[in-house]
Amino acid sequence: MIDFYLNGKRRQCADVSPDTSILELLRTQLGQTGTKEGCASGDCGACTVAIGEPDVSGELRYHNANACITPAYQLQGCHLVTVEGLSRGDALHPAQAAMVECHGSQCGFCTPGIVMSLFTLHEEQRRCPAPLTQERLEAALGGNLCRCTGYRPIRDAALSMDQYPDTHPVWADDPELAANIVTLRQNTATTSEFASQGHFTAPRDLAALRELKRQRPQARLVAGATDLWLETTQQLRILDDLIDVRQVAELNTIEETPEGWWIGSAVTYSRLEPLLEVHYPTFAHLMHRFASSQIRNRGTLGGNVANASPIGDTPPVLLALDARLILDGPDGERELPLAEFFLDYKKTALKDNEFIRAIFLPRPSCDQNLKVWKLSKRREDDISAVLAAFAWRQEDGVMRDVRLAFGGMAAIPRRALGAEQALEGQPPCVKAFEAAKRSLRDEFQPMTDVRGAAEYRQMAASNMLERLHLMLVAASNQNTDAEVMLDAYAH
Ligand SMILES: Cc1cc2nc3c(=O)[nH]c(=O)nc-3n(C[C@H](O)[C@H](O)[C@H](O)COP(=O)(O)OP(=O)(O)OC[C@H]3O[C@@H](n4cnc5c(N)ncnc54)[C@H](O)[C@@H]3O)c2cc1C
Ligand code: FES
Ligand code: FES
């Protein structure tokens, strides 16, 4: 049974199959059809809802999420807010009022999802007001497509929400709501088996997860579900044996050591971003181009690595930074360099009963450089055709500790060892970079698919190396104009 709150009212839903999404639960079992289905793959945002979970002080924090690819069972002990729950009688929530006044809707199919993304933005502003910069608007609305209105009226609505009466939803007046949710979560058992048919089990600690993996090694793990759920919505696979790692306390920590950070595999991108902003601004910049806020709020670093997609965005960066993994399971734990984790297309070093516990991100040395360039067709919410991550130090005019990693260039994300060798110990000169580019052509045989032909990918990867070269030359000449030109193409 799923025990949660919907727009302030407690709901207990039984007989839900393990692979039911929040969207299906809402529309079919609960008769709440305000939330729409567009793509059923997390791309369009029509199904956006807000999920409230208590923070450390017990206050409910809301994030937007794609209902079409979020497991219904992950609502256990949460407050789900949908477009039906925003107005107060005839009085509209500021997100709705602004959309009406700014003519932010035509056919209206995308509108409930956009209103919910505006609602979570409004909640953020209520808690911690800050200027609504272009970057913040892109982050808030980048996961919501609209095919007929055009984005300017929607942006105008976002910018003018604070000019409307601050109408609270009725449930916001309930002083008990947050405390009731905290109690509901506390009363949820350490290993909860929710589904009556099949399994959707949510362990709360490492010991329980290990035991479950011992009993059911074949069970699929689910974290944010932003990859896994596409198997059911796009490939119509039945997922009837699931272990949810999101609640496992040890998988949710970020542990700082003098050498770096152990990031629990179930830490979401949204939680990771502040750390990256401080220590790895280049990596943080990539996060702005990673999917959408809906996906970043649910998706995890562990899921990205375990999914082992050749076009996953974080593995090349983690390879360039020499990241390591802790793999864990009923037979104990082991540490592995990330470079040894990816074996072949979607094949990893994980044994059946193992899971990723944590990912180690080394602390950058003061002279370390990192550049990450993602090439995709759209700037927001798109997967890479090619992603390059370059790390190096410059010492006495030559390049040292050069690590060049690529996504989209082979069956697995991997380093270009020959190209690295061509640059190691060399000044950033034409000769060294020409040798590196030649080596790149021998090292990779990329595939042709909808994101790019093999020749295009080869050329793009080579051009990214050339770009690094030009950037280093421009930096040594202190030629800032050239840097601006290069940045014009940077994403
Ligand atoms: C619209 C959309 C846009 C996207 N954009 C991007 C993008 O720009 N860049 C990008 O790289 N990806 C993108 N993705 C893919 C996805 O969001 C990421 O790969 C994400 O990090 C997956 O994490 P998750 O927690 O959702 O994993 P899940 O979907 O829950 O799991 C993914 C896989 O990992 C396994 N798994 C999960 N946790 C563990 C663990 N601890 N140990 C072992 N196995 C585990 C699962 O069994 C499953 O096989 C996008 C997806 C969507 C739907
Ligand atoms: S229906 Fe398109 S993102 Fe969910
Ligand atoms: S109003 Fe029609 S798709 Fe947005």
* pLDDT of 89 strictly over 80: yes
| Mean pLDDT computed over 317-335 | 98
Nearest to 316 by CA among 395, 221, 412, 224: 412
Task: Provide the pLDDT for residue 393.
Answer: 96
Position in ligand 2 atom list of the atom nearest CA 42: 3
* pLDDT of 191 strictly over 80: no
Tens of pLDDT, residue by residue over 197-218, are 789 999 999 999 999 999 999 9
Domains of the chain are 2-84+172-244 (3.10.20.30), 94-168 (1.10.150.120), 372-488 (3.30.390.50)
Q: Phi first, then psi: what are they for 122, rounded to 5°?
A: -60, -40
Q: For the residues of 355-382, what is the DSSP string, one character each?
A: EEEEEEEEPPPTTEEEEEEEE-SSSSS-
Q: Which residues does a 6 A CB cutoff place in the pocket of ligand 2?
A: 37-40, 42-47, 66, 68
Q: Phi first, then psi: what are they for 117, rounded to 5°?
A: -70, -35
Interstrand relation of 355-362 and 347-348 (parallel, antiparallel or unpaired) = unpaired
Give the Å distances, CA to CA, from 56 to 31, 59, 223, 368: 33, 7, 21, 35
Name which residue sits closest to atom 32 of ligand 1, judged by CA: 303
In the block, which residue shows the tokens 């809802």?
A: 49
* pLDDT of 448 strictly over 60: yes
Task: Provide the pLDDT for residue 484.
Answer: 47
Site to substitute for ligand 2 among 26, 27, 35, 41, most atoms within 8 A of C-beta: 41
Is 383 touching ligand 1 by the criterion CB < 6 Å?
Answer: yes
* pLDDT of 474 strictly over 80: yes
Measure the CA–CA gap between 142 and 490, rounded to whole angstroms: 18
Give the three-state DSSP class for 144: coil
**From the CA of 56, how far away is ligand 2's center (Å)?**
30
Is 222 touching ligand 1 by the criterion CB < 6 Å?
Answer: yes
Tens of pLDDT, residue by residue over 242-297, are 999 999 999 999 999 999 999 999 999 999 999 999 999 999 999 999 999 999 99
DSSP state at residue 479: -
Give the three-state DSSP class for 183: helix
* pLDDT of 374 strictly over 70: yes
Measure the CA–CA gap between 79 and 85, rounded to whole angstroms: 11
**From the CA of 112, how far away is ligand 3's center (Å)?**
10
Buried-state track 455-475, b at ≥16 Cβ within 10 A, e below 16: eebbebbbbbbebbbbbbebe
| Mean pLDDT computed over 88-107 | 97
The mean predicted confidence, pLDDT, of the chain is 94
Position in ligand 2 atom list of the atom nearest CA 37: 1
Q: How far apart are the first and last CA of the chain?
A: 44
Dihedral Cα 314, 316, 319, 325, nearest 10 deg: 40
Q: For the residues of 406-463, what is the DSSP string, one character each?
A: EESSSSS-EE-HHHHHHHTT--S-HHHHHHHHHHHHHH--PPPBTTB-HHHHHHHHHH
| Mean pLDDT computed over 290-319 | 97
Confidence band of 188 (pLDDT split at 50, 70, 90): confident
Give the Å distances, CA to CA, from 326 to 262, 263, 271: 9, 10, 20
C-alpha R_g of the chain: 23
**From the CA of 19, how far away is ligand 3's center (Å)?**
29
Give the three-state DSSP class for 212: helix
